[in-house]
Structure 1
Amino acid sequence: MSSNKILQSNAERLGIRDAPTIQKAESFLRVLNTKPASKTLSDVGKIIMCLDLAATILGVGFDKDTAIKLSGLRKSGYQNSLNNLEKILNLDKPITVSELCVQMSCTEVKDMAETILTNYKERDTKIKDLEHPQYVAAAVHTSCKLSGIKVDKSQFRAISRLKMAQWNELLEEFSKFATSLGLASGKKRPKKGVVDQETMEIDGVAQPPKPKEKVQVIEEYEVWKQRILQEASAEILRNTLEE
């Protein structure tokens, strides 16, 4: 089976059907096949990673877990090989907050992550490699946590290119820094179809909750009759005393 047919087959298994992504992956594969450094990878492994890189660049959803299984590699091995292919293809440009948010399906935290990252870089002037992906990964992950959005921590760590201990230490630092900026944990992302009972939005504008309507209590007939008779008797007695 030719490389193009293998690529098409794996693209379908990964749910990729748009032509631009497949064409971009084919272009990457042609370049890789001319580079000796990429020959340590299997053909299937290279194809899967070309699809991964193409999807990431074009902002197309990509099933990373399935890709890792199809590649026959472990998570760490897959990410290391992917990083190497990025360098071979000259794609290892710094990832942005916006790109990572799209990749991780958490675009709603983009502004918060940008705020955290910008302030962090301004505060710590000793950082030498500001373009290292660890800072973007930590800012987006921290924003997701503060917003109550569940994400795959291992994927963020892989993007950060840090060891587990280093990654956990960086996350703790970013969490404390976000708190110092006055950013606190918010509500969890509501499930689809569930309306927030405290606030609603109309055309994107938050609306205050509607006041609860007073419930009119209806008396039973015998209770009402007894109350009316008592009030009438009291009125008659009061009038008699006044005379």
Structure 2
Amino acid sequence: MDRELFDKLASKMGITSAKVRSQAEEYSRLSQISCAGLRNATAISRAVMCLELAAKVLGHPLDKEYAVTLSGVNKSVYQSNLRSMECMLGLESHLGLRDLAIQYGCLQAVGPAAKILQRYKSSLPKVQQEELDLTKPLFTTAALLTACKCMKIRVDRKLVASSGANKAMMDRLCAQLHKFAQEICSKQEPPWGALGPNGTLLNFIHIECPQPYCQQP
């Protein structure tokens, strides 16, 4: 794809990050192989979609409505092709902490789990902080498991399997997160104690959970 066209579109979309542009170019290269069957896709719409996906993955703000306009195709075609490209490139969104906790009945652990991830990230070298994606299932699942353990909350064993990671890898990460969990749980007031046999899920829907861990990336 024409590099000049790519840079021009990125500028119009307000994407100044070299990292986002580089990632988008890689998606563009891969899409030539994996996404040949996209309906009514033009060179411009492909470039815009690659830029949007890169911005989404790397957490760069983006005006999605303007992206559709810039693509030159109608909204339904653009969104359909965007979803197809996301799937073909293996970029499907993962469940955030809150959604994962709702699914496995441990919503009380969301706040502590998010704090565990924040503390873990802060403990890493700066280069690793920039490269590591802590919204991936391995990290969100490990943080939730570790929080549940220190809060003495029972969780379904299927939670571990949902991450797609093997047990040894999960155990190693949980061990690394354990020290942060102990510090956080020791300072945490126990609102989870209010969720007894008669408690309802709605009691905990608005538990504080910092971005980006609680929403889909």
Normalised-by-shorter TM-score class: 0.3 to 0.5
TM-score (norm 1): 0.41
Question: Larger C-alpha radius of gyration, 1 or 2?
Answer: 1
Instruction: Specify which structure has the bigger relative contact order, considering alpha-carbon pairs within 8 angstroms and separated by 6 or more residues.
Output: 2
TM-score (norm 2): 0.45
